[in-house]
Chains A and B, each alone.
Chain A
């Protein structure tokens, strides 16, 4: 009998306020299974503000701190600083933000958190738009997608710009660990979250989270759509540890993007030429990723870029966690 790799403990309770088929809900559930109860989650304004239910109830079995939409990166730095100052050990500090709160309005604080090497996990659950406010486009909305602010009709044919490469932006900060997550592949998801938990330093997890009302598909299709996103190369599963790339799911030849796109109402208006362009872009990015994996496989990164700095004198009393400790 196969070994069960997903922890049985549930830290997300029934009675939450997510829509049926909500992948962000599944993402939180799997993440907390991997991280365990000694976790503090900082949540900005996003779908999860509502999913966690309203006062005086909570849908989560961990400590939760709310913060304004643009400040999650700073919030996790504050939580970690306090945990270190107060001597609180074995605490997972987590920021859990949507794509807007990560890659748009939250980008500055995220960059700050990564640059100052905060010992925390930042999770971007990416439903590719401002879904909590009723489906507006974000920087993470893909090319061609319909949203309420990128309508279809007249002079507009969906979002005219491509999706922001948030992993590229994050990796330019050289985090200790960054990975893509897909709740449609729970074993891979939990393994990466557990790996992130085992490391110290800035860690970033990018989860693709299909959204039935925002992407215009029927809620029972969430898992299938998620699998298609990865198996067609639109959302490859990979991890980068200390600069070394590793693709964690290679299923042979990529499926055509057509099936993924056609399953969603937000892409219904795309013509064959549009789909062909998207297919070419996906193939280009997949081949680039394969090359990055091959090139970095033979490299050895000695570790963190942060100065431990013992030669600048005894830093008595300072309890800041060095990444090397992890």
Chain B
């Protein structure tokens, strides 16, 4: 056997291994042209033969929002720029209307000239109109921001704002007068150098909010930075996540005054094998304690079950929700949790990279989850896309959470390698048809007829008309503000919960509406979607039913509240009972 032959074999092997490590899920490298049908076109089944019931109208242009996102995407391909950022929907000024806080990235390295407008806060004026109050509120962070988390961390009744960044994380405490103060220094949660997502929760039940921060990898702008792509032709792409060492995530116990202490090890949630992005804190097993589920990129998704004694059990490997049903880890980004099949047990959902479908895990009880993505009918319409922000949101108030995923590639130059993959991708909506079946909705509005490059997505009732609207971060562009104008919407009821012992946002609570012999469950969560914050009020649709028999609220910590026959189409403010159960 000739050495020449062997050396040529080696070259081929290396070139194929580069191909195998393409950005599509295994690595980076050029590939020659390939053909394929347009994955934006629907695969069966769809609801295209009927007038769409889920309809959204893009009101961005008339909203007054002038925010423009800056990704930092350039020829240097600094990895954080691929991840984009999220946004937060919260009522910062207590006027009852949801305001919007947009995060933004910027050019790297941080020493480079920064032309990005930075993060912006928009106050909701009603009627889908907003005004920029960033400077007045003093929350105009202009660094490299990934995500936002919101909660009242110092128990003064006002929501505070936490930012995850490349750099140092930021804590803005709400002064209550329309302004915030930077309380990062000394908070203990000004984490460096690179964080991605965050979720507030009260994990130890002491009434003081705690914080879980996800981190992606050990990467700094100083480098060295591997060149991924075709150096000969000068075409660079983002490297594979497998090129980066995961960085461990952090759990902080809150002192109730805006300061925190690292309790990661003590709580039993140390893992060094997760490139963390989205995280959700919620009562996953309905025991009154708030658990954690973390979406990791190219690593198992973590599931930590709260033991109630200040520690968690790592149920990752036993859960069935760490990988897909074939046992393969996926490039997971966004995350949500909600009961989609009406059995009272919330399902987990993650968005994943191209070539990997978005995964819906059915909650079978006992800490067991099963990948039911195929049964749900969501595989085909997610395989070709890179999924980020997501929501299991009941858009038509029929009682069944629907699904929306914001998609977008990380590289804008893959066609130069002959791959038929575009930077912009469709935002996909599926309607929950019941029995855990979803059907893609074609044409839910003109916005969806075009492809976009999206990252964060947040869901909330911006105009207080009783349905969930959607706001999307669009890469290097203005956001999409999608007003929900779905037809034939069902009846609804809403609950704004207020914890009485510090966790004022009632993160970890479960609301169950009993009506017509059915149970409609919604969770109050810390952490949502992709690096974003949703409307924390629990809006529950009940379809054609016209009466609620009772509502049961399981508060974090185990207290219960029962409401009998609350009125429909109304927001009920419910205060956690201070002692014993309330009726």
Q: Do A and B bind each other?
A: no
